[in-house]
Amino acid sequence: MGKIYNLFSTSETVPTTHSVNSANDLLPLIRRYTQEAVDKTEALSVKLQYLHKDGPEFKLICREYDEVVMRWAERVHRLGGLAKGLWLVDFDTGEGYLCWKHPEMKVDHYHPYDGGYKTRVPIEAARQNPL
């Protein structure tokens, strides 16, 4: 496994660009953080189904949901990833982004800077046909 960055340090910098290997080295931690957030938000979503949308408990749970998502995004950022959508993480390569979406097992997609999740392609295809 690659270097684990001190998530609470303000002096240690995280990588600004990633290779496929460095992104995949971080993935076990990102997958764990993501699964924890998914589990919490799914439980909160179930509670929301039974509450009145104008009620105080509904609003409280919505705020809690938002906090779970924001905490997940912050954790991803501290590791050097970019939270680009719900449970979607990009890793800057200096030429574009490596792209991972929960529950994929590894980072194996790529898209250019001016693209996004809908334009991503398998890394091997991007290597064979440079964008």
Percent residues over pLDDT 90 in the chain: 82
| CA gap 61, 48 in Å, rounded | 7
Encode pLDDT of 82-97 as tens digits: 999 999 999 999 999 9
10 in any annotated domain: no
Q: Residue 104: inside a domain, yes or no?
A: yes
Query: Is residue 75 in some structural domain?
Result: yes
Q: What is the residue type of 92? A: D
Domain count along the chain = 1
Long-range Cβ contacts of 12-17 (<8 Å, 24+ apart): 14/78, 14/79, 14/80, 15/80, 16/80, 16/92, 17/92, 17/93, 17/94
Tokens of 127: 């290597």
| Within a domain: 63 | yes
Expressed as residue numbers, the domain containing 96 is 20-128
pTM of the predicted structure, to 2 decimals = 0.84
45: in domain: yes
Q: Report the pLDDT value the prediction gives residue 13, as an integer from 0 to 100.
A: 56
In angstroms, the CA 93 to CA 117 distance is 16
- Amino acid symbol at 105: M
Q: Decide if 95 contacts 131 (C-beta within 8 A).
A: no
Write out the two tokens for 92. 């800057």
Query: What are the pLDDT digits (tens) for 33-74?
Result: 999 999 999 999 999 999 999 999 999 999 999 999 999 999
Determine, yes or no, domain membership for 11.
no
Average pLDDT for residues 102-116, to the nearest whole number? 96
